[in-house]
Amino acid sequence: MTDMKLVFLGTSAAIPTLQRGLSSVAIVRGNEILIFDAGEGMQTRFIESKIGMNKKMKIFITHMHGDHCVGLLGLLQTLSLMGRNEPIEIFGEPTIAEFLNQNIRIINFKLSYDVIIHKISGEGIVISEKDYKITSCFADHSKLAYSFCLEEFDRPGIFHLDAVKRLGIPEGKIYSDLQHGKDITFKGEKISSKGITGPPRPGRKIGISGDTRPTLKLTNFFKNSDVLIFEATFLHKDIEKAKESFHSTAFEAALLAKNSNIKKLILTHFSARYRDIAPIESEARKIFENVYIANDLDVFIITYTK
């Protein structure tokens, strides 16, 4: 089984505070780091988090607003100065390439590793790996923006070792074949994997909203997520400000989580106008009980449901 944890590297909205940096969250999955957004200065929290400087890394940018992408420059340079030598893949809407290439040229800093830029051109699968995929969905924001889902593929079912031993099957490759759904022939007898291995077990699903108004499309996109990380820039008393700036309230985030059958909701991206975040949590909890407020450097361990 692959360990997974969420590490929040910035939880404020457009203006940082003494307690909260600008938007960024990392999913540490085994020996890989998946970073979603990189607000200005997030490399400070990245260093503090000690999640690893030279691990396999992919960075996904929800949209090209400064509080979500400007920190890319500092992170890339910091990792280079710290001696990173593994490549980094960066995913974002088409202008991400121009933004990075022009700034690297103007600032004229050299990197000790390769940067591979992938342009996201629409909704669907952004990347598919051996045991997970990242998908995108249009968000409803003031400029082109995406929300993302990390979805693990089903794991093999529970392997019933006692049943295999009763059949006298020796340990080795045959065990792996049976566990991964392959039927075998042993001593002239065909043995079905279904009699040895239980049904496939679901992987984990993590949703990341970025900046957005709540929409039916996103409700369906995040359906049945184990964890949903959703922006709650405003309290609902400031709903008009939320609509004007294409953001969400805590009430709206909680309602979307409820309608999406989410298991755990984590709120982030709080306006600096609110010195006390407790009312945001209280507002959301009236709609959706299993809700948490993210603070910078908070860590959430994501377990398998079964």
What's at 249, amino acid-wise? Answer: T
Order of all β-strands in the sheet with 24-29: 115-119, 88-92, 56-60, 32-36, 24-29, 4-10, 299-301
What is the band of 156 on the pLDDT scale with cuts at 50, 70, 90? confident
Our answer to whether residue 238 is catalytic in this structure is: no
CA angle 37-63-25, nearest 5°? Answer: 15
User: pLDDT digits over 269-289, tens only?
Assistant: 999 999 999 999 999 999 999
What is the per-residue pLDDT across 188-202, written as a single tens digit (0 to 9) for each?
Answer: 777 677 767 777 889
Domains in the chain and their CATH numbers?
Answer: 4-155+201-301 (3.60.15.10), 161-195 (no CATH)
Any alpha helices (H) in 82-230, and if so which ranges? 95-107, 161-166, 173-179, 216-221
Tens of pLDDT, residue by residue over 219-254, are 999 999 999 999 999 999 999 999 999 999 999 999
Q: Which residue has the higher pLDDT, 165 or 293?
A: 293
pLDDT at residue 16, rounded to an integer = 97
**Could you tell me where the DSSP H helices lie in 127-238?**
161-166, 173-179, 216-221
Residue 290 has pLDDT above 70, yes or no: yes
The Cβ of residue 166 has, within 10 Å, a number of other Cβ atoms equal to: 9
The active-site residue, picked from 37, 67, 211, 296, is 67
Q: pTM above the 0.85 mark?
A: yes
Q: Which pLDDT score, from 0 to 100, does residue 164 have?
A: 66
Average of pLDDT values for 34-59? Answer: 97
Helical segments of the chain, H only: 42-49, 66-69, 71-81, 95-107, 161-166, 173-179, 216-221, 239-245, 250-259, 278-285
CB 20 within 8 A of CB 30: no
Question: Can you tell me the distance from the alpha carbon of 36 to that of 139, in angstroms, rounded to the nearest whole number?
Answer: 14
Nearest to 11 by CA among 52, 39, 53: 39
Model confidence at 151, in pLDDT bands (50, 70, 90)? very high
